[in-house]
């Protein structure tokens, strides 16, 4: 990712590392994708597409809070080595009291961010996951650090509460684990049949949250360029509404957008992913605490 542009570079007035509220961290990790490949190119595609974004998102100006783009995390070596570099990068961002915005890369990158937050002494927090897949397997294709296991590691190993939104592809093992751990979920079919839930969180859910946005959580009509584009996903406007419901009155500690696998000529997917990043920043600016 040589000569990587800054996120929404042409519209930035504050890009200083110490003064920016948002730190965008590109992580071109691709070690365990299990169907379509290409997630290593996702961060660069989002950064390139972000050059076409409008600074005014229709309701707010996230650029006013400052957006700093870090150097890409080096994704060579073992998964453990990559996760350690992610932790170091996120920890540096937290040292500036900034909010990490991770661009994946495969979904395993989320684990490095969560480990950094736990190690930093951040307040107790929960995870909001928008995804087509539950990612709750104990192991997948021989690895407990597969992208298909990231939420298992978060809940079982790190003890972080979880709310899942938009899932429509999971195995029996994952369904049983959900029941055993009492994980809250609003699957895509339920959202279709029952509409938008009034309350997303159980009463004891933490006031601080981390949001992980797998682009396959959205319907392929919105973002098709992903490894496993599962039909029946969440529409664009419903996704933003769900994010507003999630963020309203909560303190967001960080978020990621992962699993974009760019396809030549599919500018719509790249741009939608970049817009999703920026729109989430805007919602945090307007709705968060």
Question: What region does 76 belong to: left with phi over 0, alpha with psi -120 to 50, or beta?
Answer: beta
- Examine residue 63 and state whether it is found in any structural domain, yes or no: yes
Residue 2 falls within a domain, yes or no? no
237 is in an annotated binding site: no
d(CA 54, CA 85): 32
H helical segments located in 55-197: 79-95, 109-119, 150-152, 172-181, 188-194
Per-residue pLDDT of the chain (289 residues; tens, 9 = 90+): 458 899 999 999 999 999 999 999 999 999 966 556 799 999 999 999 999 999 999 999 999 999 999 999 999 999 999 999 999 999 999 999 999 999 999 999 999 999 999 999 889 999 999 999 999 999 999 999 999 999 999 999 999 999 999 999 999 999 999 999 999 999 999 999 999 999 999 999 999 999 999 999 999 999 999 999 999 999 999 999 999 999 999 999 999 999 999 999 999 999 999 999 999 999 999 998 8
Find out whether 238 is annotated in a ligand binding site: no
**Any known ligand binding at 135?**
yes
CB atoms within 10 A of CB 192: 13
Q: Alpha-carbon distance 176 to 94, whole Å? A: 35
Residue 4 lies in a domain: no
Count up the domains in the chain and report the number. Answer: 1
What is the spatial distance between Cα 28 and Cα 165, in angstroms, rounded to a whole number?
A: 25
Residue 131 among known ligand-binding residues: yes
Instruction: Evaluate whether residue 252 is within a structural domain.
Output: yes
Q: Which residue has the tokens 């298992």?
A: 152
* Residue at 49 is within a domain: yes
Residue the block writes with tokens 């159980």: 202
| Strand-pair partners of 186 | 165
Is residue 3, in this structure, part of any structural domain at all? Answer: no
Domain assignment of residue 187, given as a range: 9-287
- Cα–Cα distance measured from residue 9 to residue 161, given in angstroms and rounded to the nearest whole number: 35
- Domain membership of residue 48 (yes or no) is yes
Is there a binding annotation on residue 192?
A: no
216 marked as part of a ligand binding site:
yes
**CATH code assigned at 50:** 3.40.800.10
Question: For the residues of 76-115, what is the DSSP string, one character each?
Answer: -S-HHHHHHHHHHHHHHHHHTTPEEEEEESSTTHHHHHHH
Question: Does residue 70 lie within any of the structural domains?
Answer: yes
Q: What one-character-per-residue DSSP string does 219-286 give?
A: -TTT---BSS--SS-B-HHHHHHHHHHHHTT-EEEEEEEE-B---TT-HHHHHHHHHHHHHHHHHHHH
């Amino acid at each position: 990712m040589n000569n990587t542009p800054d996120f929404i570079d042409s519209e930035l007035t504050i890009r200083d590392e110490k003064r920016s509220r948002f730190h965008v961290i590109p992580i071109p990790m691709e070690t365990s994708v299990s169907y379509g490949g290409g997630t290593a190119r996702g961060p660069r595609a989002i950064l390139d597409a972000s050059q076409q974004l409008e600074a005014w998102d229709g309701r707010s100006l996230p650029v006013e809070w400052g957006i700093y783009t870090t150097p890409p995390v080096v994704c060579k070596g073992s998964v453990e080595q990559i996760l350690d570099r992610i932790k170091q990068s996120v920890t540096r961002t937290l040292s500036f009291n900034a909010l990490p915005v991770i661009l994946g890369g495969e979904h395993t990158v989320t684990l490095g961010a969560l480990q950094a937050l736990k190690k930093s002494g951040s307040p107790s927090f929960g995870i909001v996951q928008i995804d087509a897949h539950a990612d709750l397997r104990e192991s997948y294709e021989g690895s407990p650090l597969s992208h298909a296991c990231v939420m298992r590691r978060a809940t079982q190993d790190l003890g972080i509460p979880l709310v899942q939104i938009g899932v429509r592809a999971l195995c029996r093992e994952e369904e049983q684990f959900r029941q055993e751990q009492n994980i809250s979920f609003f699957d895509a079919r339920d959202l279709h049949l029952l509409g938008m839930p009034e309350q997303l969180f159980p009463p004891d859910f933490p006031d601080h949250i981390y949001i992980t946005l797998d682009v396959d959580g959205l319907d392929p009509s919105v973002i098709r360029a992903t490894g496993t584009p599962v039909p029946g996903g969440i529409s664009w406007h419903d996704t933003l509404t769900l994010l507003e419901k999630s963020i309203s009155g909560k303190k967001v500690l960080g978020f990621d957008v992962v699993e974009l696998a760019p396809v030549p000529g599919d500018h719509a997917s790249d741009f939608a992913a970049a817009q999703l990043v920026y729109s989430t920043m805007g919602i945090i600016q307007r709705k968060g605490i």
